[in-house]
């Protein structure tokens, strides 16, 4: 089966200039940033409301420590997610889109890792509050396995083909 024109593996088959390729890659990166931005906003919003709930004072010190660590991860994740756009703004019209796309490619992967950490950490925290710490750690470990498979193994297997 021939690769579709939209298939990233068929870049060599496209008849486009280097500038057109960079533009296409930049637009694809922006789409990915928009998707991760929504996830980060939802997760961060949940975190930011937690201290204002009635249950927050009943959290033990470990739960509060996990919470504060997750707030830091969320803040870093949001900053990382905005960085490619800021880089583009800073070097606009300086013909550095190749660097912006390359750095953005790395940053979006770090953002995905931050989102995975948030998902695992928040699930661990919620399970520890609702059930107990053992349930929280089991849920967190299960999510680590699932996310490593979904975000690490599956893309690598596809890439190998």
In sequence order, which ranges of the chain are alpha helices (DSSP H)? 18-49, 61-90, 97-130, 133-148, 154-160
CA distance 70 to 52: 16
Distances (CA, A) of 18 to 5, 24, 110: 16, 10, 26
User: In the prediction, which pLDDT does 23 show?
Assistant: 81
Q: Are 97 and 26 in contact (CB under 8 A)?
A: yes
Q: How many CA atoms lie within 13 A of 45 on its CB side?
A: 6
In this prediction, residues 69-73 reach a mean pLDDT of 96
Question: What is the number of residues in the chain?
Answer: 161
pLDDT tens-digit readout, 45-63 = 889 899 999 999 999 999 9
Residue 13 to residue 28: CA distance in whole angstroms: 18
- Stated pTM of the model: 0.80
Q: What is the mean pLDDT of the chain?
A: 87
Stretch 113-124: mean pLDDT: 95
- Cα–Cα distance measured from residue 76 to residue 146, given in angstroms and rounded to the nearest whole number: 23
How large is the average pLDDT for residues 64-93? 90
pLDDT of residue 12: 54
CA distances from 2 to 10, 50, 96, 154, 155 (A): 9, 50, 33, 21, 20
Higher pLDDT, 5 or 136: 136
Per the model's pLDDT, the better-predicted residue between 125 and 36 turns out to be 125
Residue 100 has pLDDT above 90, yes or no: no
pLDDT 10s digits, 140-152: 999 999 999 999 9
């Amino acid at each position: 089966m021939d690769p579709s024109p939209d298939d990233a593996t068929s870049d060599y088959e496209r008849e486009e200039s280097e500038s057109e390729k960079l533009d296409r890659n930049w637009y694809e990166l922006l789409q990915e940033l928009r998707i991760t931005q929504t996830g980060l906003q939802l997760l961060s919003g949940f975190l930011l409301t937690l201290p204002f709930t009635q249950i927050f004072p009943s959290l033990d010190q470990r739960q509060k420590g996990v919470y504060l660590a997750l707030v830091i991860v969320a803040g870093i994740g949001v900053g990382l997610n905005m960085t490619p756009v800021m880089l583009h703004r800073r070097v606009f019209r300086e013909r550095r889109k190749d660097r912006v796309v390359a750095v953005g490619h790395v940053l979006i992967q770090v953002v995905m890792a931050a989102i995975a950490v948030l998902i695992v950490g928040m699930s661990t925290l919620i399970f520890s509050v609702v059930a107990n710490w053992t349930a929280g750690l089991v849920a967190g470990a299960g999510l680590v396995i699932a996310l490593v498979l979904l975000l690490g193994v599956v893309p690598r297997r596809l890439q190998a083909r």
